[in-house]
Amino acid sequence: MKLLILGAGAVGGYLGAHLARAGRDVTFLVRERRAAQLKQRGLFVASPLGDVRTEVAAVTNAASLQPDVVLLACKAYDLGSALGAIAPAVGASTVIVPLLNGIAHLDIVAARFRSATVWGGLVHLGVTLGPHGDIRHLNRLSILQFGPRGGASDSRSHELARLFAGTPVAADARESIEQDLWNKFVFLTTLAGATCLMRCDVGTVMATPDGERLIQRLLEEATAIATAEGFAPDPSQLETYRQQLTQAGSSSKASMLRDVERGSRTECEHVLGDMLARSRRHGLKAPVLEIATTHVRAYEIAWAQSQQLTARGGPT
């Protein structure tokens, strides 16, 4: 099975480094600067599960490739350009597995590649990209889930899972991937909403008198929206999320907050904005989510204004 990974950032680089080290047929599709960096330095992952340094194959144009599976590991705001980049490599037998946060992207990918197969996919993985292109694994979570939408069966999903055998990545071919995606959507909405609104990690929020109540209310709002959409989280999974999101002293924070802290663009609209829009379509009140979304939207407006000033040579 030949794999193409769009992007060698934190998620794509982490997965691809382990595949390359295991000797799998994997190629990265990246921009020129990242390709030069990978050629010079290879990929390095610093992880509590074991560090990895490996050489990888990377290209800047996919026209000559015929992958069986394409893993999309880009930010939501780069989705349009990402789909254009992989288009020359996508055929009728290609499986595309987007690993973006949220769920709105699935229909976009499927509409662009009507003859290909688009699965659902997600990661439970805390990783970040360093300034020199190295990847830092922040915890021991290393889970990849994927599978056909609509509960269909496809033997290729199990073949893909087997490629990760012998690596720290727990790859799982799922028959309920849409519910899995919604479960993560609920979790991520709560984590991103709470940590971005308060501009701190879960432990710091929990140290305030009303922090736990705020997190619980946000989780309840997201759960109600998922339920209205027909994807009520499993009670046991929901309880696990509740414990993780209200753990005293936890250093957990959303990647969205790390983007804010770096002064970068965020995936606010794809995660918080999309969840808020769904609440309104169902006539559900979500006041905490509305405040959190507005907070990050205000940051996005200020960020865009600073980018315009920089482009004109003005002060930042």
Position 47 in a domain: yes
What is the number of structural domains in the chain?
Answer: 2
Residue 56 resides in a domain: yes
> Of 191, 205, 163, whose CA–CA distance to 101 is shortest?
191
Out of 145-154, 161-170, 209-218, 254-263, least confident range: 145-154
pLDDT per residue as tens digits for the range 106-140 = 999 999 999 999 999 999 998 999 989 999 999 99
- CATH assignment of the domain containing 26: 3.40.50.720
Percent of the chain with pLDDT over 90: 94
Please indicate, yes or no, if residue 316 is contained in any of the structural domains. Answer: no
Q: Do residues 218 and 269 both lie within one domain?
A: yes
- Given 160, 175, 190, the domain boundary residue is 175
294 and 198 in one domain? yes
Are 243 and 171 found together in one domain? no
Q: Which residues pair with 4 in a beta bridge?
A: 27, 70
pLDDT in tens, 231-258: 999 899 999 999 999 999 999 999 999 9
Pair 252, 296 in one domain:
yes
Q: Do 188 and 166 share a structural domain?
A: no
**Same domain as 241, residue 301:** yes
Q: What angle do CA 28, 256, 98 make, to 5 degrees?
A: 35
Which CATH number is 254's domain given? 1.10.1040.10
Asked whether the beta carbons of 204 and 194 are under 8 A apart, the reply is no
Judgement on whether residues 8 and 134 belong to the same structural domain of the protein: yes
- Pick the catalytic residue from 2, 39, 75, 184: 184
Task: Answer yes or no: do 234 and 149 share one domain.
Answer: no
Residue 314 lies in a domain: no
In contact, 220 and 193? CB cutoff 8 Å: no
CA nearest 270: which of 119, 128, 78?
Answer: 78
Residue-range definition of the domain harbouring residue 244:
180-309
Query: What span, in angstroms and rounded, lies between the C-alpha atoms of 316 and 303?
Result: 10
**Active site includes 184?**
yes
Question: Average of pLDDT values for 140-169?
Answer: 95
Q: Of 117, 151, 175, at which residue does a domain stop?
A: 175
pLDDT at 171 > cutoff 70: yes
